[in-house]
Chain A
Amino acid sequence: MVQVALVHGIVREEERLLLNALTQHPVIAPRLVHESDQAQITPDNTDCVLIRSVSHHHARTIAFMLERRGLLVVNPSQTIELCGDKIRTAIALEQGGVPQPRFRTAFSVDEALRRMDEVGYPLVLKPPVGSWGRLLAKVNDRDAAEALLEHKQVLGGPQHHVYFLQEYIPQAGHDIRVFIAGGTPLAAIERHADHWINNTARGATVANRPLDEGLRNLAIAASAAVGGGLLAIDVLVSNGEYLVNEVNDRMEFKNSIAPTGVDLPQRVAEYLVQHVGVFV
Chain B
Amino acid sequence: MSCLVCGAQFQAPANLIVHQVLSCNECLSEFEVTDTEPLTLVELPPNEEDWGQ
Contacts and interface: CB of A to CB of B under 8 A. Distances in A.
Nearest to B33: A11
A84 B32 contact: no
Contacts of A4: none
A278 B26 CA distance: 46
A126 interface: no
Contacts of B50: 55-57, 84, 129-131
A144 to B, nearest CB: 22
Interface string B17-52: 111110000000000100000000000100111111
Q: Give the interface SS of chain A, mostly helix, strand, loop or mixed.
A: loop
A75 to B, nearest CB: 11
B11 interface: no
B19 A131 contact: no
Interface residues of B, number: 14
Tell me if B's interface is mostly helix, strand, loop or mixed. Answer: loop
A55 B53 CA distance: 8
Nearest to B49: A130
A280 to B, nearest CB: 27
Given A10-B32, A132-B47, A32 B17 contact: yes
Nearest to A250: B53
Given A10-B32, A55-B51, 7 more contacts: A9-B19, A11-B17, A130-B50, A130-B52, A132-B52, A134-B52, A135-B49
Interface of A: 8-12, 16, 32, 34, 54-57, 84, 127, 129-132, 134-135, 159, 201, 232, 248-252
Interface of B: 17-21, 32, 44, 47-53
22 contacts: A10-B20, A10-B21, A10-B44, A12-B21, A16-B17, A16-B20, A32-B17, A34-B18, A55-B48, A56-B50, A56-B51, A57-B50, A127-B49, A130-B49, A131-B52, A131-B53, A132-B47, A132-B53, A134-B47, A135-B49, A248-B52, A252-B53
